[in-house]
Structure 1
Amino acid sequence: MTPAYDLVAALPKVLLHDHLDGGLRPATIVELAREAGHTLPATDPDELGRWFVAAADSGSLERYLETFAHTVAVMQTPDALRRVAREAAVDLAADGVVYAEQRYAPEQHLEGGLTLQQVVDAVQAGFAEGVAEAASQGREIRIGTLLSAMRHADRADEIAALALANRDAGVVGFDIAGAEAGFPASRLATAFRSLRDAWFPVTVHAGEADGLGSITEALGVGALRLGHGVRVLDDITLHEPGTDGAPPAATLGRLAAWVRDRRVPLETCPSSNVQTGAAASVAEHPVTLLRRLGFAVTVNTDNRLQSGTSLTRELALLVEHAGWTVDDVRDVTLTAAENAFLPQDERAELIDRAILPGYTHDGTGRHRA
């Protein structure tokens, strides 16, 4: 714990990019694996938690994704799915998150004989239980669900239809996930077309392990946000770093200018991006430069288990290592809230009631939660 961590912990936060199967408690994995007969690399929860972080620290997105074999394996029954979802809501609320969008791929949870709809029903029940449990502890959180289709598979049309069938039952958006390189978003064009025709929000993992072409593909299929998106930096030429609060002098290519000028939000995930090689360090993470250049950036966790992190930790690291201030934290929180896949009136209410009061000053000039 550091002063920056304590400061950020007290502030209300919004999380747009967090994978349900990347946020399990290690102790829960151990218990569920024992019930399922699944062999883990370690059975002590602390040791297992360290293993996940070490295994994800490879510099490769593909190697990073291999760690999910263990979390997905223990999420194949209604009870397990409900428990994981409930604990995710409780843990996020304890971290000061007032709104979170949780994403997962229903197609990965069918090995126990569940249908796609049964998977969604179990997860939604768990979220409802977790929100109620958090409320009983004096913490308020709202959860919106994003259903992900795996980009290398051929079930995107089914998952899109599933998302639409549950749009009034807590599912607020659609996503595609998995290995980025070699699996362009356009190969799932019919799914995106059906979602666009139904006016349903879409975010796409893009610009993390692949470059500008991936971002172009995502925008071409109608992505309203970019999952990670940090490789947009490849379309920016920096001339001078900028001093005394002035933004850096830079030339933006047409794609980067489109993303900035159209205010397409970037769902950046600092620690995860360092682990997969998309950024050299948190101190040098593109989110700071992109923010100074006027891009709509948000800060997220991606996978709390694999990164050994929380949203408080991600923001505190930027305060400690990249010179961020409370005002920066407030601004990216507001950007996240403004771009949540919620109706406009509900976003405004979230901001006015749950976020802005946490960033007001008291008489000493300190921020109070």
Structure 2
Amino acid sequence: MLTLEEIRGVPKVLLHDHLDGGVRPQTVAEIAERIGHRLPVEDPDDLGRWFADAAGSGTLVRYLETFEHTVAVMQTTEDLVRVARECVVDLAGDGVVYAEVRWAPEQHLTAGLTLTGAVDAVREGFAQGTAEAQRAGRTIVARQILTAMRHQARSLEIAELAVAYRDSGVVGFDIAGAEAGYPPTRHLDAFEYLHRENAHFTIHAGEAFGLPSIWQAIQWCGADRLGHGVRIIDDVDTSDPSAPRLGRLAAYVRDKRIPLELCPSSNVQTGAAASIAEHPVGTLADLGFRVTVNTDNRLMSQTSMSREMALLSEAFGYGLDDLRWFSVNAMKSAFLPFDERLAMIQDVVKPGYDTRSLDTL
């Protein structure tokens, strides 16, 4: 089993991280006090524990309610820049070398910001965070994924925004929110537009709802990646552990190398997995799916990329070779151009593991 510090020292790639799910408790408390937003508790340490407890209720709906407080403190240019800057600094400090951070611009307009103004603010925050990390000796590339809320009707507008900014730090599009009752097919016009524009997108699917959500995301909408996708395990027959059998959908996902953006701690909190030790990541990795490891919401799960990998190392006995495999999988699946992905793999990710071995740790 690897230690947290050992894991923190190797390069990691993060594809599924929510900006409003990774705000520092201190930042939430300070901005809330300034703008007069009432929090359930005021002390930052207690607030961090409150977010984790509330998010650990076992239901996705209750989990999503915690975002009312983080979104409330991200409504101005100043506050969005701060949150975005701190996000990049925190990820770089954890050894993340590439991150795609998603957020929903439509949720940040109550104080007068426009959609473009909000995206510009996050872009500025990412630039400041990248520069601050470099001054501390850390290198990180951070990009935005713009999310539309699946229970709203602005997905085409947000998709157009993502395309407009794809040469300015935005690499993709996503839909998020409660899955039940809001299938991805409600947003076909947005996905068809993205296809016409040769743009990348991922879809939250297969977390709370199951196989129909995954099937629609892939076969109807044409998603490049599956946000979570953990419930694909429902199409894998493991009654004979020595010879698991894949259903048609699971086989298609594996054959097409469709990346799974698995978020172990978050999946346990929302009830998609019973525990880390029982998380399908072990089986899916053994079967050769394109598995990636992610944080989802660092505040709500009180986690980091290093912690997620440490939990998997403890549960499944993973060593550095396994963590490198997860990291290379993620970099292969990133929404960067191919040459940039290849350069990151060859020049940053692999060397960060090749210079270390279990014998020297």
TM-score, length-normalised on structure 2?
Answer: 0.98
Separation in structure 2 between the aligned mates of residue 187 and residue 218 of structure 1, nearest angstrom: 11
| 1:243-262 equivalence runs, <5 A | 249-262=243-256
Separation in structure 1 between the aligned mates of residue 119 and residue 187 of structure 2, nearest angstrom: 21
Q: Are positions 1:121 and 2:120 aligned together?
A: yes
The question of whether the paired residues in 2 share the 8 Å contact of 1:260 and 1:294 is answered with yes
Q: Are positions 1:313 and 2:307 aligned together?
A: yes
Separation in structure 2 between the aligned mates of residue 254 and residue 3 of structure 1, nearest angstrom: 36
The one-letter amino acid of 1:301's match is T
Separation in structure 2 between the aligned mates of residue 343 and residue 332 of structure 1, nearest angstrom: 19
Separation in structure 2 between the aligned mates of residue 217 and residue 80 of structure 1, nearest angstrom: 36
Distance change in 2, residues 1:319/1:198 (3 Å): same
- Correspondence for 2:329: 335
Distance change in 2, residues 1:135/1:194 (3 Å): same
The question of whether the paired residues in 2 share the 8 Å contact of 1:206 and 1:228 is answered with yes
Separation in structure 1 between the aligned mates of residue 357 and residue 288 of structure 2, nearest angstrom: 31
- Correspondence for 2:233: 233
- Correspondence for 2:27: 28
The one-letter amino acid of 1:142's match is V
Single out whichever of 317-326 and 66-75 deviates more from structure 2: 317-326
Measured after TM superposition, the shift of residue 329 of structure 1 is 0.6
The one-letter amino acid of 1:141's match is I
SS at match of 2:359: coil
Distance change in 2, residues 1:102/1:363 (3 Å): closer
Separation in structure 2 between the aligned mates of residue 180 and residue 325 of structure 1, nearest angstrom: 35
The question of whether the paired residues in 2 share the 8 Å contact of 1:284 and 1:322 is answered with no
SS at match of 2:227: strand
| 1:77-226 equivalence runs, <5 A | 77-219=76-218, 220-226=220-226
RMSD of the alignment, in Å?
A: 1.2
- Correspondence for 2:65: 66
Distance change in 2, residues 1:7/1:116 (3 Å): same
The question of whether the paired residues in 1 share the 8 Å contact of 2:23 and 2:299 is answered with yes
Gaps of 5+ in 2: none
Q: Are positions 1:44 and 2:38 aligned together?
A: no
Percent sequence identity is 60
Measured after TM superposition, the shift of residue 322 of structure 1 is 2.1
Single out whichever of 76-85 and 348-357 deviates more from structure 2: 348-357
- Correspondence for 1:358: 352
The one-letter amino acid of 1:21's match is D
The question of whether the paired residues in 1 share the 8 Å contact of 2:320 and 2:358 is answered with no
1:233-275 CA distances to partner (integer Å, 9 max, x unpaired)? Answer: 1111114324xxxxxx111111000001111000000000000
Separation in structure 1 between the aligned mates of residue 61 and residue 258 of structure 2, nearest angstrom: 26
SS at match of 1:210: coil
The one-letter amino acid of 1:313's match is R
1:6-41 CA distances to partner (integer Å, 9 max, x unpaired)? Answer: 221111000000000000000000111011110001
Measured after TM superposition, the shift of residue 362 of structure 1 is 5.5
Runs of 4+ with >4 A deviation: 361-364
SS at match of 2:34: helix
Measured after TM superposition, the shift of residue 365 of structure 1 is 3.5
The one-letter amino acid of 1:295's match is F
The question of whether the paired residues in 1 share the 8 Å contact of 2:63 and 2:270 is answered with yes
TM-score, length-normalised on structure 1?
Answer: 0.96
Measured after TM superposition, the shift of residue 3 of structure 1 is 5.0
1:140-170 CA distances to partner (integer Å, 9 max, x unpaired)? Answer: 0000110000000000011011101101100
SS at match of 2:175: strand
Measured after TM superposition, the shift of residue 65 of structure 1 is 0.1
Separation in structure 1 between the aligned mates of residue 229 and residue 86 of structure 2, nearest angstrom: 29
SS at match of 2:100: strand
The question of whether the paired residues in 2 share the 8 Å contact of 1:282 and 1:322 is answered with no
Distance change in 2, residues 1:260/1:81 (3 Å): same
SS at match of 2:145: strand
Match of 1:269 among 263, 270, 275: 263
Distance change in 2, residues 1:47/1:253 (3 Å): same
Gaps of 5+ in 1: 243-248
1:274-299 CA distances to partner (integer Å, 9 max, x unpaired)? Answer: 00000000111001110001101000
The one-letter amino acid of 2:284's match is L
- Correspondence for 1:288: 282
The question of whether the paired residues in 2 share the 8 Å contact of 1:225 and 1:266 is answered with yes
